[in-house]
Amino acid sequence: MYRGRTMTLSLPPFTKAVKWLVIVNAGVLLLKALLDWLTPVFADYASYELALVPELVVRGHLWQLFTYSFLHAGISHLFFNMLWLWWFGAQLEMDWGAKKFMEFYSFCVVGAALVTVAVSYTGVAGVRTSSQTVGASGGIFGILMAFAMLYGEQEIWLFPIPFSVKAKYFVAGVGFFTLIGAIMAAGPRRGDSVAYVAHLGGLLFGFLYVKFLPRRGLGRSASEQYFSMRNAFYRWKRRRAAKKFEVYMRQHDQEVHFDEHGNYIPPEDDSRKGNGGSKSGWVN
């Protein structure tokens, strides 16, 4: 980790996952523009099905929890989201790797969507169950939170202002103004065009991922748990089979023995039976 280092004016590299996220998001915006020109009715239908609409999500349109992040309201909306993705996400991907970075990004996107759906049924912050939410901001704000937690002492330039500030203070300011925006959005017709709740949800799930989830990532941790449970099951089957075989052999007036792991224990005089006195047990 590169803590406490001041960012230079040089631009970060276009890492693999960041690059593909930018390409896909830009491609979706271009496709939407073409559909708006060729078939406006179908374009509206596709946008409605892919955007995050809480009342549709609870009816089973679960894909919206992720697909909304690839839709944007316009070029400026896309530009600033992808700019922040590049500036802050590239550092995380270089340290985590593309796989864990995409897992984290998806976790924040879905988490922000779940928060939005939950809040929409409370009627606060200007979010209604029929509201359409689009944009990658849930994932972007999760990246900001992770950056602040991991590189909080690193200074960043507030381009184009010739002024630098520590990352933790910058993200704290972003979170504060987002919270103020959400509070103001609770008033009638004020701020309901901005998905403040999704932004706050992204910050929350970014914090949860970095603070509480396994350092190796959810996918690898789940894989390790699966194989651990599978191996424990196989060991139990082997011990059970060994005990059943012992009972079977006793019923036929023969004695065989197995250890606590289900491995066969040869008789003491096994060396006279031509196997060289091998103590090896069963191999699974």
Fold of 16-213: Rhomboid-like fold (1.20.1540)
Which pLDDT score is estimated for 11?
Answer: 74
- Model pTM? 0.76
Using 50, 70 and 90 to split pLDDT, how confident is the model at 40? Answer: very high
Query: What pLDDT, in 10s, does the model give residues 170-183?
Result: 999 999 999 988 88
Query: What pLDDT, in 10s, does the model give residues 191-239?
Result: 455 789 999 999 999 999 999 876 666 666 666 666 677 777 777 777 7
Q: Is a pLDDT exceeding 90 seen at residue 184? A: no
Residue 42 DSSP SS3: helix
Round to whole Å and give the CA distance between 85 and 215. Answer: 21
Which is more confidently placed, 264 or 57?
57
Q: Is a pLDDT exceeding 90 seen at residue 186? A: no
Which pLDDT score is estimated for 281?
Answer: 46
Using 50, 70 and 90 to split pLDDT, how confident is the model at 248? Answer: confident
Closest C-alpha to 129, from 63, 59, 187: 59
Which residues of the chain are in CATH 1.20.1540.10 domains? 16-213
DSSP run (H or E) holding 241: helix 218-251
Which pLDDT score is estimated for 239?
Answer: 79
Tell me if 29 sits within 8 A of 75, measured CB to CB. yes
Q: Is a pLDDT exceeding 70 seen at residue 75? A: yes
Compute the Cα dihedral for 140, 143, 148, 153 and give only its sign.
Answer: negative
Q: Is a pLDDT exceeding 60 seen at residue 243? A: yes
Using 50, 70 and 90 to split pLDDT, how confident is the model at 10? Answer: low
Distance of CA 257 to the CA centre of its chain: 49
Tell me the average pLDDT across 50-76. 95
